Chains A and B, each alone.
Chain A
Amino acid sequence: MNTSVTSIKLVLLGEAAVGKSSIVLRFVSNDFAENKEPTIGAAFLTQRVTINEHTVKFEIWDTAGQERFASLAPMYYRNAQAALVVYDVTKPQSFIKARHWVKELHEQASKDIIIALVGNKIDVLQDGGERKVAKEEGEKLAEEKGLLFFETSAKTGENVNNVFLGIGEKIPLKKAEEQNNANEGESNNQRVDLNAANNGTSANSACSC
């Protein structure tokens, strides 16, 4: 077993009230235990996941979804290795906003940032609610832009873990060789340098989108 831990900064983006925080809270909900690492409400959380014998520590940064704070988002997603762009499947406007975030991330975030597009609140559909964003639309956007795609329910927990596992598997984890050669800069031994480790473990990616 490799006991090294790779930290991944993951930023949450999406319109207000699409369920960004709920998804993360669901993801870490098993660990609201005594020995929890310090958090800042649901705005900053950490969670460790072991993927293919490698431990990934997600540092999850929430962003304010209100439109007035949109311009502040770059401050949060700088140096992020992964982003979750969340929309509400019952709110078409939130999907439009998601498109904007994807575009902005591609333009301004780290070059190889891994983006997962997440359509949340699918439980509402099971309760008789009307879907306003077709799954195919999300899939199409994901395909066009090279994103991971998931539909989730933070309420029931459906598919939530898969989102993070999918990201974890796609992150190019540093090998020992790269670690030894790590030079100064943003990257260091336990932080993933997306630009340096492009050829990492892409073969491992097995997203079920």
Chain B
Amino acid sequence: MARQLFTPPITNPRFDPNQSIRESYKNTTNCIQFQQISHQDQNDNEKSNCDGDEDSTTSERLDNIKSPILTKQEIDDALNGVTNLPSELSKLIDIFIDDLKQPKYVRPLTVLQLSSVFQSFYIKFDKASFQHVSLVSSNGNINGGPSSFLAAKETLSSGFSGIFGRSRSSSGNSVMRPRRSSSLFSNDSISNSNNATQMLSPEEIKRQLRINELNNMKIEKYMEFCERDVFKKILIVGTSVSSPNKMKTLKPHQLQTFKVGNLFRNSVEFTEYNKLLNEKIFCLSKLSTMNKIDLIKFLSLNNGIDPEPKFEEIKDILYEFTYHSISPCEKIKALLKLHEIMTYSQEMSNDDYLSLLIYYIITIVPRDIFLNAEFIRLFRYKKKLVETESFALTNLEAALVFVEGLTKDDFSNELKDKLAENEGKILESSISSKVSLPSKTTMMHKTNGSNNTNIGDIVTPTIQRPDVTRSNSYDGFRTVFDSSLKNIIGKIRSYTPPHPNTVGGNNFHNNTNNNNLNIPRSSSQLSMELVNRDTVEMLRDGSRSTSSSSRSSASLEHGNRECTGDLTITTSANGVDKKEIQKSWKKYKGRKFEDLTICELRDLFEIYQKMMQ
């Protein structure tokens, strides 16, 4: 009965040739069966098995491969040579980054939209890696074996099981398309196999399984390199759409520090939440240093675990996590390392981990740790953010949620009297009561539509339309004003004739209406900064006055934004004194939008009006 279930007739489109082959050789090919350890249970006669070893057809994470069909030596031989991406794949990253730098959107993308663009690229890259590896192995470059038609065909069809193996670890959403990267290949293999299924010898099967394993490992490695190279490149080229004539050159030390905050600057909720959390952590740290609170007691850490001996080690790894790592992949590795260091014994439960994590966060005060955690959640390839990685990240997020929710009521009454005014203010309420993160809004929408999400979800962002609705939870006025500025900018933009060399207006508008980012057409569709896009375009068109106004407006909107294309106005706009405008313009240089008063905003609006005249 089971065999019927798992091997449907060959005419059935669901027929899996690999499964069929395994079934056919079931009694003779021990190499592809599970190594099982029988569990004996006192109260149950039902036979059950736990395998202590790995499934031979299932790919595992690179760092914990223990395939029975591959020796460590073989794995090392195959993977040690892989230190960089092949040029074909590397080219994809170049195209993606170039595309990111293209001005395409009328408004800057929020971090959630940006994340979606990245996730789509990862899927595309995963597919390309699979194709590359399949091609290489079918040419006999990997195992040196015969590259006969059968071998080639089998390699292709082996993609089916290989993909199952690889997608085993999948999790998270793919909004755009099915996540499984090689679905096209698997379908091909099914249809091809229906026409000709030749019996393979056990040796051949084994060889194919080995190729699958190695290919999967290579793809895993390529994906790691992909993340690394994408963000390294972003570090070099910056996160702004810059003028083509001006490439910002960074000093060596700048190339080592990637500010994740740059990716979040168009999502004020995240930056605001992060700022408040930084303040709160610092405040708690100060209280702890001044012995106003006893963290060890507060967190019940006194049950045999002394956090002090590992303090320096943890500090290093937390700094590595927040400051010295670039890609999400590196950051998650640092986070796993952090958990590893915190492991005092294999029996430690999560009570201990969570308490320790909170303790170290408060005492070490790693800056922007929230943004770093969100950076991983949003920019790590979803398919890989599973198991230990997912758990470690959830733990960190839980620790941060705990900290943000701490108020003075959580501490003793004595502390309340000792608090300074600003400390009392910081510990007055939870941060989540002041700032709602957009992801939660998205989550609520999603919950309404399906039952898959729950409270506390940070869901894969969905781009419904280019201007994702902002949460208006914490600063209604600002959001309204912000939106109105954006509308103004949008209107200016709509009067701008599209430049023939830029991405076609039609494409853009199609895209905005599509609710989708069509990756095959373009590896991404992003404008990191409206400001420079407009400026550059308008300079080309000679519409300088409009350019300046849009820039000034956008500067208001993102006051803390780093402007790379530092273009200046060279003509007067309809009789308005250029110098006067520039002078009043500069008055707000370096100011943050959230710090502006209503009077100042009015002033700015007047400047804007003058420029428009």
Contacts and interface: CB of A to CB of B under 8 A. Distances in A.
Interface of A: 1-5, 7, 16, 20-21, 25, 30-33, 35, 37-44, 46-53, 55, 59, 61-66, 68-69, 71-72, 74-79, 108-111, 158-159, 161-162, 165, 175-177, 180, 182-186, 188-191, 195, 206, 208
B51 A55 contact: yes
Contacts of B354: 64, 69, 72
Nearest to A2: B6
B392 A79 contact: no
Given A47-B50, A62-B350, 14 more contacts: A1-B23, A3-B19, A3-B32, A20-B349, A21-B347, A35-B66, A40-B388, A74-B456, A159-B41, A161-B39, A176-B8, A188-B167, A189-B168, A191-B171
Contacts of B33: 1
9 contacts: A35-B52, A38-B387, A42-B349, A43-B353, A64-B349, A72-B398, A78-B454, A110-B452, A191-B171
Given A41-B343, A72-B402, A165-B46, A111 B52 contact: no
A7 B168 contact: yes
B454 A2 contact: no
Interface stretch (B57-65, B255-263, B491-499): B57-65
A154 B585 CA distance: 70
B470 interface: no
B446 to A, nearest CB: 10
B100 to A, nearest CB: 23
Contacts of B450: 195
Contact of A46 (B49, B346, B387): B387
Contacts of A25: 347
Nearest to A40: B339
Given A46-B387, A71-B405, A108 B454 contact: yes
A175 B4 CA distance: 12
Contact of B55 (A5, A31, A72, A180): A5
A30 B50 contact: yes
Contacts of B56: 3
B2 A161 contact: no
B290 interface: no
A16 B64 CA distance: 31
Interface of B: 2, 5-6, 8, 13-14, 16, 19, 22-23, 26, 32-34, 36-37, 39, 41-44, 46, 48-58, 60-61, 63-64, 66, 164, 167-180, 300, 336, 339-340, 343, 345-355, 387-388, 391-392, 394-395, 397-398, 401-402, 405, 410, 450-457
B64 A38 contact: yes
B410 to A, nearest CB: 8
B348 A1 contact: no
B19 to A, nearest CB: 7
A131 to B, nearest CB: 19
Nearest to B388: A38
A33 B454 CA distance: 36
B53 A195 contact: no
B173 A50 contact: no
Contacts of B353: 40-41, 43, 64
B176 A76 contact: no
B454 A74 contact: yes
Contacts of A52: 2
Contact of B387 (A21, A51, A59, A183): A59
Contacts of A41: 339, 343, 345-349, 352-353
A3 B57 contact: yes
A23 B343 CA distance: 19
Nearest to B2: A53
Contacts of B2: 1-2, 52-53
Nearest to B44: A162
B454 A48 contact: no
A74 B457 CA distance: 8
Contacts of B63: 38
Contacts of A61: 350, 391, 394
Contacts of A5: 55, 58, 168
Contacts of A35: 52-54, 66
Contact of B48 (A3, A44, A50): A50
A155 to B, nearest CB: 13
Contacts of A39: 346, 388
Contacts of B52: 30-31, 33, 35
B4 to A, nearest CB: 12
Nearest to A159: B43
A125 to B, nearest CB: 16
A132 to B, nearest CB: 23
Most buried by B among A1, A41, A165, A184: A41
A93 to B, nearest CB: 17
Interface hub of A2, A3, A183, A191 (most chain B Cβ within 10 A): A3
Contact of A16 (B173, B351, B397, B457): B351
Contacts of A32: 346
A195 B451 contact: yes
A126 B312 CA distance: 47
B56 to A, nearest CB: 8
State the 8 A-B residue pairs at the shortest beta-carbon distance, nearest first. A41-B348, A35-B66, A43-B350, A190-B168, A50-B49, A21-B349, A62-B350, A74-B456
